[in-house]
A and B are shown apart, each in its own frame.
Chain A
Amino acid sequence: MPDGNDPLEPVDPGQAIAPGGGYGGGMDLAASDAQALEHPPGTGQDAGGPTGKPRSLWSDAWRDLRRNPVFIISALIILFLVFIAIWPGSITTQDPLKADLARSMDGPAPGHPFGFDSQGRDVYTRMVYGARASVTVGVCATAGVVILGSVLGGLAGFFGGWWDAILSRISDVFFGIPVILGGLVFLSVVTNSTVWPVIGFMVLLGWPQIARIARGSVITARQNDYVQAARALGAGNRRMLVRHIAPNAVAPVIVVGTIALGTYIALEATLSYLGVGLKPPTVSWGIDISDASTEIRDAPHMLLWPAGALSLTVLAFIMLGDAVRDALDPKLR
């Protein structure tokens, strides 16, 4: 933070990355890291290691990921984004809200590499500050969706019966509402202009997606022989879920969660573009693109820079999810 009167007051940088630790689908990735660390790469890395201990899916996946250029590039982009979301002042010294109408829609000038928008604000600075809203919405919405969805869906898949039936019908209800439409209706009545209504809406409509996937993969996992064996040995529900089913069912959730993080960022921009998502003075790429869209014939640079930043961010998360999926899906090896 450069000083006390930060223009982006509503977004607390501490909260911004808290739930996911800065990672897509944070909770589960953190869990997978922890598991990978039980077998530190240093000991088990070469040909199964001296102890001959079998490598887990996670340490296998981690070995693959570290060698995958797509993963490294997308992870670096994401780390950089998280960094500027927390400390935007570190790569720009200007104020994203300072407007100089005399320079409206001007092209690049010394100190202003990307030119000015229609209100004469520096496009580069606004691009940098826009990362915060996007990363906050993406990370918090994904954390909420993954936690709620995997708990509800996982329990439905494990226990089945009436709980499963009720949950499936409830998730059908939320599935029945098209996302953008629901966003317009729900958010147009909200007057609060922080990121929280947007995040809350995404969690509300997003959890059935993860719940379905968690349910499906738990059902698949619980039919496996080793789960039946554990049951025959007298393992309780809790032990079977935690020790046997969850580690084998969590992979699809992580993959979909990471990719969903990218799509939530795009959704936030779309809602802001339609005028119901984030609202000024919050700096958001979606708002800037919406402002620029009417001037695209005269000043395409106004649209292209925030649009490029938005697309690159979404791309980074989707590529990360893709790389993680390839690493976690042994069927495709």
Chain B
Amino acid sequence: MGRYVIRRLLQMIPVFIGSTFLIFFMVYALGDPVAALFGDRAPDPATAQRIRHDLYLDHSLGAQYLHYMKNIFVGDFGTAFNGEAVTSLMGSAFPVTIRLTIVAIIFEIIIGIALGVITGMRRGKPVDTGVLLLTLVVISVPTFVTGYVLQYVFGVRLGWTAPSVSPGAPFNELVLPGLVLALVSLAYVTRLTRTSIAENTRADYVRTAIAKGLPRRRVIVRHLLRNSLIPVVTFIGTDIGALMGGAIVTERIFNIHGVGYQLYQGILRNNAPTVVGFVTVLVLVFLLANLLVDLLYAVLDPRIRYA
């Protein structure tokens, strides 16, 4: 196990370098951060030259990337163009998005798996067909449409929750945004669980468990679920990164000042240090989540042994 973890961590290095370099390339080479500083006006060439030098932008792209990475390892993510350190932006943005993601994941696990088990056990029955159709509709309606409609219905019309979230973003205000963020993934979790359960109900070991006379509940929880949840766990694990990166839309609708909000502002204004810094951290989160998922495999499925 220990050797496996080390091997995986080593494998992460090229992926991490590749992803961050790709983003770095897109932000610094395709866009022009210095021109963006001046908005619509053309910068004075001497000033632009000076800024370029100060920001280490007058070196080759590879050198810039190395310089940036060297700073990251000592915790220096650079300074946003408004003078605020990127790390302090992160300090205020990440807790908010992490809370939002936690709410979304809880929705996915509780509602998604429950619906998946119910429909998987009753394949072809009206409940199954109904839920299945509902998941299709949920998947088909884009997040920004459900977001606005739910905000309008629950926030404006019914007044059950605040239509937009306050800067502190406590958990109770994040319930509706969390649900909106989770909805599409929730539908996928339901369908994945359903398929997996339906496939495994016919497996020999389930028949054996029933034949042994085990109570239905024990068969489902100990035998069926344990095997069926392996693909679901993978999905939810990889979804953590997608949710944190995809929160841009939800955060924009509900005016949540999290990672998505900062990134969106950063991208619109071509604020290169903010964008590259945030994306780097998100990529890291995504990679670690994937590693964690692979390790969870071994816990859930004793057939898998990592040497």
Partner-B contacts on A (CB < 8 A): 169-170, 172-182, 184-186, 188-190, 262-263, 266, 269-270, 273-275, 289-290, 293, 296-297, 300, 303, 307, 310-312, 314-315, 318-319, 322, 331-332
Q: A303 and B142: CB pair below 8 A?
A: no
B11 touches which one: A169, A176, A269, A274 (CB < 8 A)?
A169
What CA separation (Å) do A315 and B142 show in the bound complex?
Answer: 10
* Complexed CA–CA distance, A190 and B8 (Å): 36
- Assuming the contacts A269-B142, A297-B152, asked whether A176 and B245 have C-beta atoms less than 8 A apart, the reply is no
Known: A270-B144, A296-B148. Contact between A176 and B26, CB under 8 A?
A: no
A172-B15, A296-B152, A318-B140 are contacts. A274–B145 as well, Cβ < 8 Å? no
Asked if A322 contacts B263 (CB within 8 A), the reply is: no
**Chain A to chain B contacts (Cβ below 8 Å), 16 pairs:** A176-B18, A177-B22, A177-B23, A178-B282, A181-B245, A184-B263, A270-B142, A273-B142, A273-B144, A289-B145, A297-B156, A303-B148, A310-B142, A311-B141, A318-B136, A322-B136
Docked-complex contact B140 and A266, CB < 8 angstroms: yes
Partner of B242, one of A178, A289, A312: A178
A176/B283 in contact, CB under 8 A: yes
| Residue count of chain B within 8 Å CB distance of chain A | 46
In the bound assembly, the distance between CA atoms of A296 and B149 in angstroms comes to 9
The answer on a CB contact under 8 Å between A169 and B18 is yes
B94 at the binding interface (Cβ < 8 Å):
no
Instruction: A182 to B18: give the CA distance in the assembly, Å.
Output: 14
Q: Which residue of A lies closest to B145 (CB)?
A: A307
Asked if B261 CB lies within 8 Å of chain A CBs, one says: no
Residue-by-residue, is B238-251 near A (CB-CB < 8 Å gives 1, otherwise 0)?
Answer: 00011011101100
Q: Are A186 and B26 in contact (CB under 8 A)?
A: yes
Known: A178-B245, A300-B152. 5 other contacts (CB 8 A): A169-B18, A176-B283, A185-B27, A190-B30, A315-B140
B1-40 contacts to A, CB under 8 A, are: 11, 14-16, 18-19, 22-23, 26-27, 30-31
Is B235 interfacial (CB-CB < 8 Å)?
Answer: no
B248 and A176 within 8 A (CB): no
B110 close to chain A: CB less than 8 A: no
Contact with A along B137-159 (1 / 0, CB 8 A): 10111111100110010001000
Closest to B156 in A: A297
Contact, CB under 8 Å: B248 / A180: yes
Asked, given contacts A176-B15, A186-B26, A332-B198, whether A314 binds B152 with beta carbons under 8 Å apart, the answer is no
In the complex with contacts A173-B19, A184-B264, A315-B136 CB distance below 8 A = yes
Whether B246 pairs with A178 at a CB distance below 8 angstroms is: yes
Contact, CB under 8 Å: B136 / A178: no
Q: A188 contacts which chain B residues (CB < 8 A)?
A: 31, 267-268, 270
Asked if B77 is at the interface of the complex by the 8 Å CB criterion, the answer is: no
Contact call B14/A169, Cβ cutoff below 8 A: yes
- B267-303 contacts to A, CB under 8 A, are 267-268, 270, 275, 279, 282-283, 286-287
Q: Which 6 A-B pairs have the closest CB atoms?
A: A178-B245, A173-B18, A315-B140, A176-B19, A314-B140, A189-B30
| CA of A322 to CA of B139, assembled, Å | 12
A residues in contact with B148, CB < 8 Å = 293, 296, 303
Residue in A170, A263, A274, A310 whose beta carbon sits within 8 Å of that of B249 in the complex: A274
Instruction: A269 to B198: give the CA distance in the assembly, Å.
Output: 34
B133-190 interface with A by 8 A CB criterion: 136-137, 139-145, 148-149, 152, 156
- B76 on the A face (CB < 8 A): no
Contact A189 B244 (CB under 8 A): no
CB neighbours of B58 from chain A (8 A): none
Tell me whether B199 is interfacial, beta carbon within 8 Å: yes
B249 touches A173 (CB 8 A): no
Instruction: Judge whether B249 and A315 touch: CB under 8 Å.
Output: no
- Taken together as a complex, chains A and B put the C-alpha atoms of A171 and B18 apart, in Å, by 10
B248 lies within 8 A of A274 (CB): yes
A270 to B252, CA, bound (A): 12
Closest to B249 in A: A270
Complex CA distance for A250 and B286, rounded to whole angstroms: 29
Q: Chain A residues near B241 (CB, 8 Å)?
A: 176, 178
Chain B residue at minimum C-beta to C-beta distance from A273: B144
Q: Within the assembled complex, what's the spacing in Å between the Cα atoms of A303 and B152?
A: 12
Contact A181 B263 (CB under 8 A): yes
Residues in B with CB closer than 8 Å to A180 are: 245-246, 248-249
User: Which residue, A185, A188, A303, has most C-beta atoms of chain B within 10 A?
Assistant: A185
Are the C-beta atoms of A314 and B15 separated by less than 8 Å? no
A303 closest partner in B (C-beta): B148
State which of A178, A181, A185, A266 has its C-beta within 8 Å of the C-beta of B142. Answer: A266
Known pairs A185-B23, A270-B144, A310-B142; A315 contacts B248 (CB<8 A) = no
Taking a contact as CB atoms closer than 8 A, the residue among A176, A178, A185 that contacts B275 in the complex is A185
Contact with A along B181-215 (1 / 0, CB 8 A): 00000000000000000110000000000000000
Query: A51 to chain B: closest CB distance in Å?
Result: 33
CB pair A289–B152 under 8 Å, yes or no, is: no
Whether B267 lies near A315 (C-beta < 8 A) is no
Chain A contacts for B145, CB-based, 8 A: 289, 303, 307, 310-311
Judging by beta carbons under 8 Å apart, are B139 and A318 in contact? yes
Which listed residue, A176, A185, A274, touches B287 by the CB 8 Å rule?
A: A176
The residues of B that contact A262 with a CB separation of less than 8 Å are 139-140
CA distance A310 to B143 in the complex (A): 12
CB proximity of A289 to chain B, nearest CB, Å: 7
Query: In the complex, what's the smallest C-beta–C-beta distance from B41 to chain A, in angstroms?
Result: 19
Question: Closest residue of chain A to B12, judged by CB?
Answer: A172
Q: Which residues of A contact B248 (CB under 8 A)?
A: 180-181, 184, 274
